[in-house]
Structure 1
Amino acid sequence: MPFYQIIKNFILKAYFDFDNSYISLYNFHPQLRIFIAINGIFFNNRDSKIRYIWPIFGLLLTFVGFTFELIFIYHGLTIQDYSFATESFCYTIILGVIPIVYTTVLLNKEKIIQLIEDMNGDFIYICRLGSEYKKRFLKGQLYIWILCFMWLMFLSFVAVVFIMTMVLTLMYQSLFATQDEYTIRPLIFPMWLPEDDPYRTPNYEIFLFLQIILIFICNLTFGVYVYILFHILLHYYYLMDMIMLAFGVLFDGLDESVMNLPRSDVKRIQIQRVLNNRMKQIVRWHTSVFKSVDTVSSVYGSALVYQVMFSSLAICLMAYQVAVQLDEGKVNFLFIILSIAACLQLWIPCYLGTIIRNKAFAVGDACWNSGWHETSLGRLLRQDIIIFILRAQHPVTIKFTGLPPIQLETFSSIMSTSYSYFNMLRQYK
């Protein structure tokens, strides 16, 4: 079998047993706990000290890189090399999110574990329901699985492009550059030292190793954080699909004639119990959606605030760096890719916030259109339906102090602000 076919079958889960009676979150999405463990949360030995090794290592190297970038900014402004200062400032913003992600994850360990356990409970329960529930739910989960690998491939592409650009330049200098041609061995990110040359041996090798490690740290913290965020939100997006499906069959298979019987009649009591159990499950799912979004807000709210606050500035400076290079007749391919990544990392939570908000309102519409007014059985749930519809009018949004609603409107506003900053910089160039 060709290699690409093996990869395709793996991504599409061609060999997964979708008919298995027991499917859990952990055997369908084994990558989720692995990525959470990278950020310092173990699910088996939860109090193990080993879980702190990678976060501490990442924080120490991030602090070193952050310090260097601050020095570079100061140096660039001092010698009026604004291109160098701008590039360094962009990397400073990127590195600044790493300690925030590590801190929020480690401080909210129990909340994250409980959230994942609740998701696993939903997974097992829904997969034991009828085939229609299971089929639709697993279709959504397969979509999350595919999106996971698309996101990982994009992150890997960005990292590989930065590293390979340096490698190819180094190969060119080694193979084709003449002896009298003035060449400086390239680093992935430009550097400067006050009393030394960062491009001489062994400084060059040390800084090159540090920069490669920092790229992987960024991918394994901020990149993984974005994945975990959209995985959780999409899980509850598809859980609301289950609620809408449940409303569609709320009164199915029940005998309306029991409404002509006395309230104390056994048959009427049985029908009432069945309806109450169906509505109870719907309310439980709906409550878990609000609860989970509140948990996401409290756990990742500070990281989202950082994204929203600094994305407009970062995108503006990246676009400015590209424009300056174009004015000089050069194409800064690396910063074009970095600008796309900066826009994408902001667009993902904003888009998810919008579709979850709209889906939550659609759940209220599904309750209204469940057919309660077309059957006499609707009188048994009239009060419950009224309360549910009122509850569904509250928007499901990520809320945190200092954070605007995470929606596409917010993304549009930030991009407009970035464009305004960009125009201002171009005028004062």
Structure 2
Amino acid sequence: MFYKYRHRDSHISLRLPIQCTWLKLNGSWPLPLNSPIFGIAYTTWAWYVIASVGVTICYQSAFLFKNLSDIIITTENCCTTFMGVLNFVRLLHLRLNQRKFRKLIEQFALEIWMPDSLNNSIVAECRKRMNTFYIMTGLLSCLIIMYCVLPLIELFFTFGLDSHEKPFPYKMVFPYDPYSSWTRYVLTYVFTSYAGICVVTTLFAEDSIFGFFITYTCGQFRLLHDNINKLFTDVKVLAGGDEIWDYAQRAQLERLKQIIDKHNKIIRFAQRLEDFFNPILLVNLMISSILICMVGFQIITGRNMFIGDYVKFIVYISSAISQLYVLCENGDALLKHSTLTANVLYGCQWEGSVHCNHVYTVTSKQIQNHLRFMILCSQQPVKITAYKFSTLSLQSFTAILSTSMSYFTLLRSLYYDNKK
């Protein structure tokens, strides 16, 4: 059903993170072009998922507008509503950009991905870095499980099965009476719970594939740096005299052209990656600062909060901060690896090289010119932006946390002023 993307070695298939399975279940994964019947059914399912998330957000927004005067209820409801809005935009973006998504994965499979069969330190480091996303996945999975299960615990031990009003995973106002029968209640509960599951799984699945792309792009930069360091070494020469010089220069020039070609492919992929993800990253960074502020406010002010809700908000803020940190740290790693290329090029013994029989030769003008242009190109950092407004880096992470603290201080001042 789903297209298997091939590495440049045709017998090797691309191994994607296990979290991408949820993108397939949510209808966000690009299908092959030659599956019209399954494609129609899959597209219908994808739009149902988007619609279910959108309807659930409308129910939450209705509750939000109804209780705007209560700052505690408003901030609590904003946490889930804004999270829903963020991932509604993500689902819509993935659905409307299927062709770009497919091209991005195809280019990654052909030019960037390094299969485990290479069995070198760079591949091992890439696999190790992906463990961070498994931790983030675990936190977010715990969060949605608590949202779906805690209301059922309250129903059995607090409200009672005979109660007219029964709890839902999120605070919502419905255009109908969901309590009129058990069938309505169960169907509404399942509908809104699954919408929340789609929201959270889309969040960690898309972040995982984004981190997967950046991790292996950084790995390709490291591999490129190793090849640059070997550019003027290990040239096997079988002749003597001027033939040594000619052979060495030709071999070095051929190596350099391969390095330049690989460098250009990495840059092109990073530009395509940035072009695809930057709208989502802008929405993510904008909403993250508000989410962290409001969840922190709930933790500080919720003295009479049910212990399950308190744990839920602790997990929520941990997930939000870790998700933001992981994205910014990966963007920062890409910046560092790309700009390091210029330093590696400058330190690769371009001024001269030693060959067999200890013959020292000056690098040709042609090679030096290629190196100059490549150094000039490498001084422009390869970066991922939030729709050109902000660069994804650790500086962005600290700026967002600072903004969240400012919002939190203002919100807390308003809350205590109202109490007085």
Normalised by the length of structure 2, the TM-score is: 0.82
Name the stretch that deviates more: 317-326 or 409-418.
317-326
Tell me if 1:298 matches 2:275. yes
Q: 3-state DSSP class of the match of 1:304? A: helix
Residues 316 and 419, structure 1, Cα contact 8 Å, conserved in 2 = yes
CA distance in 1, matches of 2:389, 2:334: 17
CA distance in 1, matches of 2:287, 2:280: 11
Residues 191 and 198, structure 1, Cα contact 8 Å, conserved in 2 = no
Q: Which residue of 2 aligns with 1:413?
A: 399
CA distance in 2, matches of 1:409, 1:360: 17
Tell me if 1:363 matches 2:341. yes
Residues 256 and 377, structure 1, Cα contact 8 Å, conserved in 2 = no
> Which structure carries more relative contact order (alpha carbon 8 Å, separation 6+)?
2
**Consecutive unaligned residues in structure 2, runs of 5 or more:** 1-8, 354-360, 416-420
Number of equivalent positions: 394
Q: Which residue of 2 aligns with 1:54?
A: 45
CA distance in 1, matches of 2:306, 2:111: 56
Residues 293 and 397, structure 1, Cα contact 8 Å, conserved in 2 = yes
Q: 1:307 aligns with which of 284, 295, 298?
A: 284
Q: Which residue of 1 aligns with 2:297?
A: 320
CA distance in 1, matches of 2:327, 2:384: 9
RMSD: 3.2
Tell me if 1:138 matches 2:129. no
Amino acid at match of 2:208: Y
CA distance in 1, matches of 2:111, 2:34: 23
CA distance in 1, matches of 2:394, 2:16: 28
Tell me if 1:284 matches 2:261. yes
CA distance in 1, matches of 2:128, 2:11: 16
Q: 1:217 aligns with which of 198, 206, 221?
A: 198
Name the stretch that deviates more: 372-381 or 353-362.
372-381
Mark the CA change 1:314 to 1:385 in structure 2 (over 3 Å): closer, same or farther: same
Q: Deviations over 1:62-90 (max 9, x none)?
A: 1111111111111112xx33322222222
1:308 Cα deviation from its structure 2 partner: 1.4
CA distance in 1, matches of 2:246, 2:19: 44
Q: Which residue of 2 aligns with 1:239?
A: 220
Tell me if 1:382 matches 2:403. no
CA distance in 2, matches of 1:259, 1:242: 32
Q: Which residue of 2 aligns with 1:12?
A: none
Mark the CA change 1:195 to 1:156 in structure 2 (over 3 Å): closer, same or farther: closer
CA distance in 1, matches of 2:180, 2:329: 43
1:344 Cα deviation from its structure 2 partner: 2.0
Matches within 5 A, 1:105-116: 105-116=94-105
Mark the CA change 1:135 to 1:197 in structure 2 (over 3 Å): closer, same or farther: closer
Q: Which residue of 2 aligns with 1:275?
A: 252
Matches within 5 A, 1:141-290: 141-143=126-128, 146-173=131-158, 185-193=166-174, 196=177, 198=179, 201-254=182-235, 261=242, 268-290=245-267
Q: Deviations over 1:33-68 (max 9, x none)?
A: 645544141147466223313320111101111111
Residues 75 and 298, structure 2, Cα contact 8 Å, conserved in 1 = yes
Amino acid at match of 2:120: K
Mark the CA change 1:172 to 1:33 in structure 2 (over 3 Å): closer, same or farther: closer
CA distance in 2, matches of 1:258, 1:156: 65
Mark the CA change 1:428 to 1:154 in structure 2 (over 3 Å): closer, same or farther: closer
Residues 332 and 394, structure 2, Cα contact 8 Å, conserved in 1 = yes
Q: 1:24 aligns with which of 4, 7, 12?
A: 12
1:184 Cα deviation from its structure 2 partner: 5.5
Mark the CA change 1:323 to 1:148 in structure 2 (over 3 Å): closer, same or farther: closer
Name the stretch that deviates more: 415-424 or 31-40.
31-40
CA distance in 2, matches of 1:422, 1:259: 74
CA distance in 1, matches of 2:338, 2:391: 15
CA distance in 2, matches of 1:117, 1:111: 10
1:97 Cα deviation from its structure 2 partner: 2.0
Q: 3-state DSSP class of the match of 1:378? A: coil
Q: Deviations over 1:253-291 (max 9, x none)?
A: 215898962xxx5x6554334323322222222222222
Amino acid at match of 2:321: C
CA distance in 1, matches of 2:381, 2:241: 39
Q: 3-state DSSP class of the match of 2:303? A: helix
Q: Which residue of 2 aligns with 1:70?
A: 61
Name the stretch that deviates more: 291-300 or 55-64.
291-300
Mark the CA change 1:123 to 1:359 in structure 2 (over 3 Å): closer, same or farther: closer
Mark the CA change 1:316 to 1:32 in structure 2 (over 3 Å): closer, same or farther: closer
CA distance in 2, matches of 1:248, 1:224: 36
Q: Which residue of 2 aligns with 1:403?
A: 389
Residues 104 and 300, structure 1, Cα contact 8 Å, conserved in 2 = no
Q: 3-state DSSP class of the match of 1:428? A: helix
Residues 130 and 211, structure 2, Cα contact 8 Å, conserved in 1 = no
Q: 1:91 aligns with which of 74, 77, 80?
A: 80
Amino acid at match of 2:155: L
Q: Percent identity?
A: 18
Amino acid at match of 1:348: V
Amino acid at match of 2:273: V
1:215 Cα deviation from its structure 2 partner: 2.0
1:343 Cα deviation from its structure 2 partner: 1.6
Normalised by the length of structure 1, the TM-score is: 0.81
**Consecutive unaligned residues in structure 1, runs of 5 or more:** 1-20
